[in-house]
Structure 1
């Protein structure tokens, strides 16, 4: 892959989208875990959903 095509964003199911999806999922999981450890409540209880 050349340098000029590396920064081009393409829509749909592709490797770049899957990488970002995985990264954001990991951030969400770690954030939920941190909320539970700090507050002592589940995420849904913390946000008042349950």
Structure 2
């Protein structure tokens, strides 16, 4: 016979604004964007601004 837990764990609801989750997500997005920028520069042999035609 299995014993059920007496307390239901509280799950965090999504938060808005400056909080730990938002900052972590923003940091990960920045790292991915930087990596994509470096790959574009390596593959095309020109800077991102030149690649976009802004320079």
Instruction: Give the TM-score taking structure 2 as reference length.
Output: 0.78
Let me know the Cα RMSD of the aligned residues: 1.1
Q: Which has the higher contact order (CA 8 A, sep 6+)?
A: 1
Instruction: Give the TM-score taking structure 1 as reference length.
Output: 0.85
Aligned residues: 47
Q: Which structure is higher in helix share? A: 1
Gaps of 5+ in 1: none
Flag as ranges the 4+ runs of structure 1 deviating above 4 A. none
Larger C-alpha radius of gyration, 1 or 2?
A: 2
